[in-house]
Amino acid sequence: MAIGVDTSKWKPRKLKGTPANRAANLIAAGIIGFGVLCGAALQYMDFTKKPRANFEKLYEDSIVEVERKIMIGNSLPYKTGDQLRKIIEEDRQPDRPDA
């Protein structure tokens, strides 16, 4: 240290345990609490039913999309490696029993 520098007047190097830390935590808790209260109020108030119903339409798949997914799921069953090897081997074999 330099001669004549009073280190006791320096600012603390850590925020933990200081009044600034307590204030920051209170502000953060207030912001989170306010957000939760606003979200709960908007979720359960009657005047938001119609906009929520309109937004739910955006998240639902159309009938065509649902049928397409079902068709893909039915035509592409999950197969293991052994099942795929068996299918390939069966495709290589001729269909005639005398061959």
**pLDDT for 84-96, tens place per residue?**
788 788 888 877 6
Q: Where are the domains of the chain?
A: 19-92
**pTM tops 0.85:** no
**pLDDT for 50-85, tens place per residue?**
888 888 888 888 888 888 888 777 766 666 778 778
| Cα three-residue angle 31-34-35, rounded to 5 degrees | 85
Q: Say if residues 7 and 1 touch (Cβ distance below 8 Å).
A: yes
So what's the pLDDT on residue 5?
76
Q: How far apart are CA 39 and CA 48, in angstroms?
A: 11
- 43-81 burial: b if 16+ Cβ within 10 Å, else e: eeeeeeeeeeeeeeeeeeeeeeeeeeeeeeeeeeeeeee
